[in-house]
Chain A
């Protein structure tokens, strides 16, 4: 079920454009932010709201690399290995993440906490090597910084579970 807040956001975003279908990609992202991936329900709902057929929404999802049809980890590690990062150890950072998390490209840990993806240039070339965890940037990475971050996120998750 999509939340009321999300539905309200849909309405605001759609109102920005003279052609409703312009809102498809932003709506997909917002839906994914809430659900964790783009569900069938979200596809149907967005198609209905902007007045297109569901297949047109599916076409967009396939095209844009940030949109996922299946759930990713709660913390989605997106490590850049493009040229500027590669020159400063981006591939090693990716390999370190993979080893540390025990997963490969586009895989998720069994507990659903972490997922890993090798991505293209994130626009953090001057802070290479860099990555994004969800939408947060981490730059000038070293294996040690990765270790610390993973620890921190694990603790944060436990904390939030106790609170729940």
Chain B
């Protein structure tokens, strides 16, 4: 992992530590403190804190996470589910991979807190099939958490039970869409469902379900521990926190960088990524994965947050910033992206 002084390390703060994926390292660095704190307050207060933080979905759609949780019916005789979307497949995006590789417990803690917030007792982490080595890491972390009482029955003596396991996909971009993911998790082909109803009401196995991205859930322990207001202030209004940006393509220093929401795209390319490679000029940027309309070199002053990009007709998406230099054939680039969507039966 390359670093950059401009980064604001919240999610990635433990990444450099030796053996950062182990529970001992995690516990030695504030690990599971947020869970302790959350279990001591009311579930609704957890949801309110997340609402306050202006945490928005990091998978791509950017929906307010706290609001999504709030849609889950409080009274329900059916079980409720928490599903973590780790089906990272948007071309240009590889941030969830490092979050699970270097700090899986941060994710687990976020999931358990989410489970407590909506009073669910079962979670699934849907990991794309290609990430087999990550499944092993996460499975190991889950086993550690069970052994130490952060998962299972009566977590930390609170009376709250929560079970969690991983689930493997097998190669299908479409399953990144939340209702398609639910179908896939039910053993069906990953076709999106007709909405409404939304998963918060009728989701996995017909039960109320929240589905959040790995990065979204990894933020939750920090929000609970340091407060929604603190988190919101890290970013721009209505766009709380930091974001893992994946700089790839024709860039001098490709890599994953944690930057505050609203960080200007131009500075990201120049100061964080070291500029367009080989001293070339910029032709355009795909700001948030291949589904996002491209920005020309003239548009790169834009602050990288959901609302600013929507305003100029693109999307912040999944944080995959793909840089294209002046020599790139745009027809070819478009063709390659179209080929991808045809292969994946999307769009």
Interface residues of chain A, those whose CB is within 8 Å of chain B, are 16, 18-19, 21-26, 28-29, 50, 52, 56, 59-60, 63-67, 81-84, 86-88, 120-128, 132, 135-137
Question: Given that A21-B186, A123-B97 are contacting pairs, would A83 and B249 also be in contact in the complex, using a CB cutoff of 8 Å?
Answer: yes
Whole-angstrom distance between the Cβ of A80 and the nearest chain B Cβ: 9
- Interface flag for B27 (CB, 8 Å): no
- The answer to whether B190 touches A22 (Cβ under 8 A) is no
- The answer to whether A82 touches B247 (Cβ under 8 A) is no
Q: Which of A21, A122, A126 contacts B248 (CB 8 A)?
A: A126
Whole-angstrom distance between the Cβ of B252 and the nearest chain A Cβ: 12
User: In the complex, what residues of A have CB within 8 A of residue B165's CB?
Assistant: 16
User: In the complex, what residues of A have CB within 8 A of residue B185's CB?
Assistant: 22
Q: Which of A24, A120, A125 contacts B320 (CB 8 A)?
A: A125
User: In the complex, what residues of A have CB within 8 A of residue B328's CB?
Assistant: 87
Whole-angstrom distance between the Cβ of A49 and the nearest chain B Cβ: 12
Stretch at the interface among B87-95, B152-160, B193-201: B87-95
User: In the complex, what residues of B have CB within 8 A of residue A132's CB?
Assistant: 130
- The answer to whether A64 touches B130 (Cβ under 8 A) is no
- The answer to whether A126 touches B322 (Cβ under 8 A) is no
**For the side of the interface on B, what is the size category?**
35 or more
Question: Given that A63-B189, A135-B133 are contacting pairs, would A123 and B128 also be in contact in the complex, using a CB cutoff of 8 Å?
Answer: yes
Question: Given that A84-B322, A123-B131 are contacting pairs, would A25 and B94 also be in contact in the complex, using a CB cutoff of 8 Å?
Answer: no
Interface residues of chain B, those whose CB is within 8 Å of chain A, are 79, 88-94, 96-97, 128-133, 165, 167-173, 184-190, 205, 246-250, 254-256, 286, 290, 320, 322-324, 328, 333, 336-337, 340, 343-344
User: In the complex, what residues of A have CB within 8 A of residue B250's CB?
Assistant: 87-88
User: In the complex, what residues of A have CB within 8 A of residue B168's CB?
Assistant: 25-26, 29
How far apart sit A82 and B129, CA to CA, in the bound complex (Å)? 18
Whole-angstrom distance between the Cβ of B96 and the nearest chain A Cβ: 8
- The answer to whether A83 touches B91 (Cβ under 8 A) is yes
User: In the complex, what residues of A have CB within 8 A of residue B322's CB?
Assistant: 83-84, 87, 125
- The answer to whether A126 touches B94 (Cβ under 8 A) is yes
- The answer to whether A120 touches B173 (Cβ under 8 A) is yes
How far apart sit A66 and B173, CA to CA, in the bound complex (Å)? 12
11 contacts between A and B (CB under 8 A): A19-B187, A29-B129, A60-B188, A64-B169, A65-B343, A84-B92, A121-B90, A121-B290, A123-B93, A125-B94, A126-B248
